[in-house]
Structure 1
Amino acid sequence: MTGPQPVLSVKDLSVRFRMRDGAYVQAVSGARFDLAAGECLALVGESGCGKSVLASALLGLLPGNAETAGSAFIGGLDLLAADERTLARTVRGRRVGLVPQSPAAHLTPVRTVRSQLEEAVRELTGVRRGPRLRAAAEEAAERAAFPAGHLDRHPHELSGGLAQRAATALALVGDAPLLLADEPTTGLDRHLVERTVDELRRHIGAERALLLITHDLAAAERIADRVAVMYASRIVELADAADFFGSPGPRHPYARGLLDALPDRDFTPIPGMPPELGALPAGCAFAARCDRATDICGARPALADGVACHHPATVPLEAPRA
């Protein structure tokens, strides 16, 4: 007997960009993961590793010089194969709700938050006018903890935290099976970070899942069920969050380095710099920065048993300092 179908199933998703000189930049390489209903998967890694490109690929928001391969199924529809009409009419807002990294870019500056929520309700729920429309917009705001007293304000009148909550409210209107939050805590102080991710977590349900794309490991630890670590276009580790942040800890040396760099741990930066995505090595992309590297690392490791490494760690990671 097979279990329920995942909300999102990504298989061998790759994205590359063709440059003007004919060269290619490989932004995502062979990403594979499933996301179940009721689950939050945090996709983490340093800026520039390919996380947001992966998110854009799922929504069909890549630029014209992008080439994709693989598949990403949601409800029987392959997002990578869908045309723009299908994505616009049946995916964005309906199957996938987006909480953007820059809410100001997704909020119309000349319209109030209320009018934008009401438009989303009309488009996504079929409620057209009158008290029901107004109530549905106010309910969406309440779900995202957006204060009713600010609904008639324009985006430029909102703080960064309120703008983020307005964008979250818009993403929640359609009750999409997949909520995709792309760096939703950028620029927020720690209190607002915690409140924002707690609000996102609350909306995961029996038929809904959350893909959280972030470089904020504290936010990921707070709400994630599983963690996928991305480095230089590739997912190098996929683990249960409790094991990743607790004991035994990450198994990939890069993932260990990310945790060791946190202030409440060793506060030790990873030496060196990631490779350019336009000049990725044939073997392990982390080998040049890794103190475990040997000759075998000249061959690219496959993601096996949750880790893509020829020398995965086996010793439990030390707990963070109190």
Structure 2
Amino acid sequence: MRGGRHIAAVSGASFDLAAGECLVLVGESGCGKSVLASALLGLLPGNAQTAGTAHADGVELLGASERTLARTVRGRRIGLIPQSPAAHLTPVRTVRSQLEETLRELTSARGRELRDGAVAAAERAAFPADHLDRHPHELSGGLAQRAATALALVGDAPLLLADEPTTGLDRELVGRTTDELRRHVDEGRALLMITHDLAAAERIADRVAVMYAGRIVELADAKRFFGEPGPRHPYARGLLSALPERDFTPIPGLPPELGALPDGCAFAARCAVATPACDTRPAFEDALACHHPSAQETARA
């Protein structure tokens, strides 16, 4: 709720995520990606309302109490790499002490095992060992990001939510981070990754979910999405075309405000293949929410 109005930040989102699989959620800023991740962990503001079901490792997340989420879900069943890592790090404690505390809570590690575990966690996230005794305010944005990644990986939770995990990293570190997250998945865990970095998404994803104006508008196999025949939704195709290594052609216009969505397709005003049929909101069928999949294929050809 904002200013006495109800705003549907995310609506009708439906997907599954298996162990050993990475689903990457992409879309422009403000489309609802981070809201969806926060809802799964019960981290939305107090005036937010949720409806529906979301299960993880036997727990119904949306109906769980704060006590259940804090004691049995966060860090244990679901790890989180937050979008704003500095806000999630304890400012008065060093990175080492936070890693050791997390290890102590989630494992039976003690003494030397605890100290070695903290160093190993930092190494997994490419966090330099000689920075472990620094406080969060002494870290750059990229180092804070890597510290948060190390904390999220400590417990080897069955599901990891990574919200923009490569923000502030150079391309080499982006590659190292995505490769470590991929290794995490290949060991039999699930990963929901939210990112603007489509190059990182292509490197790590098994499937891609495209979100626009609070709705998932396409779910696709990653190889088909980034290769041939490519995305089916015109918005998804526009995201790829905007990449410098592709057409470098931006999508015209701006997304609609979530509090003032049109009755029909929310992308119609920016879409090159829109017709009067788009005045009606398309249903999500066959992993796609669009009235003109055949027209898209014709335009692409």
Structure 2-normalised TM-score?
Answer: 0.95
| Matching residue within 155, 177, 180 for 1:174 | 155
- The alpha-carbon distance between structure 1 residues 274 and 73, as it changes in their structure 2 partners (threshold 3 A), is same
Say whether residues 1:297 and 2:278 are aligned partners: yes
Question: Following the alignment from structure 2 to structure 1, what is the Cα–Cα distance between the partners of residues 300 and 145?
Answer: 35
CA RMSD of aligned residues (A): 1.6
> How far is the alpha carbon of 1:117 from its aligned partner?
0.6
Structure 1 gaps of 5+ residues are 1-17
Corresponding residue for 2:118? 137
Corresponding residue for 2:30? 48
CA shift digits 1:233-270 (9 cap, x unpaired): 00000001110011100100111111111111111111
Moved more, 199-208 or 111-120: 199-208
Structure with more relative contact order (C-alpha pairs < 8 Å, separation 6 or more)? 2
Corresponding residue for 1:277? 258
Contact kept? 2:126, 2:177, Cα under 8 Å: no
User: Match of 2:53, as an amino acid?
Assistant: S
Moved more, 104-113 or 276-285: 104-113
Question: Following the alignment from structure 1 to structure 2, what is the Cα–Cα distance between the partners of residues 300 and 178?
Answer: 33
Corresponding residue for 2:87? 105
Question: Following the alignment from structure 1 to structure 2, what is the Cα–Cα distance between the partners of residues 275 and 159?
Answer: 34
User: Match of 2:139, as an amino acid?
Assistant: L
Corresponding residue for 1:241? 222
CA shift digits 1:21-63 (9 cap, x unpaired): 3x21110011011111111110000000000000100110000
Moved over 3 A (4+): 315-318
CA shift digits 1:251-305 (9 cap, x unpaired): 0011111111111111111111111100111211111111211121111111211
CA shift digits 1:132-172 (9 cap, x unpaired): 22122222222223232222222233333322221111101
Question: Following the alignment from structure 1 to structure 2, what is the Cα–Cα distance between the partners of residues 187 and 166?
Answer: 12
Contact kept? 1:40, 1:223, Cα under 8 Å: yes
Corresponding residue for 1:191? 172
Corresponding residue for 2:107? 125
Structure 1-normalised TM-score?
Answer: 0.89
User: Match of 1:223, as an amino acid?
Assistant: I
Q: Which has the higher helix share?
A: 2
Corresponding residue for 2:297? 314
Contact kept? 1:164, 1:184, Cα under 8 Å: yes
> How far is the alpha carbon of 1:120 from its aligned partner?
0.2
Contact kept? 1:284, 1:300, Cα under 8 Å: yes
Corresponding residue for 2:57? 75
User: Match of 1:103, as an amino acid?
Assistant: P
Question: Following the alignment from structure 2 to structure 1, what is the Cα–Cα distance between the partners of residues 105 and 72?
Answer: 11
Corresponding residue for 1:61? 43
> How far is the alpha carbon of 1:222 from its aligned partner?
1.2
Say whether residues 1:230 and 2:221 are aligned partners: no
Task: Give the share of equivalent positions with the same residue, in percent.
Answer: 79
Question: Following the alignment from structure 1 to structure 2, what is the Cα–Cα distance between the partners of residues 187 and 135?
Answer: 27
Structure 2 gaps of 5+ residues are none
SS in 2 for 1:169: helix
CA shift digits 1:179-199 (9 cap, x unpaired): 110011223332322222222
Contact kept? 1:260, 1:266, Cα under 8 Å: yes
> How far is the alpha carbon of 1:315 from its aligned partner?
4.8
| Matching residue within 257, 261, 268 for 1:287 | 268
> How far is the alpha carbon of 1:174 from its aligned partner?
1.2
Say whether residues 1:165 and 2:146 are aligned partners: yes
Contact kept? 2:26, 2:209, Cα under 8 Å: yes
Moved more, 77-86 or 204-213: 204-213
Contact kept? 1:40, 1:211, Cα under 8 Å: yes
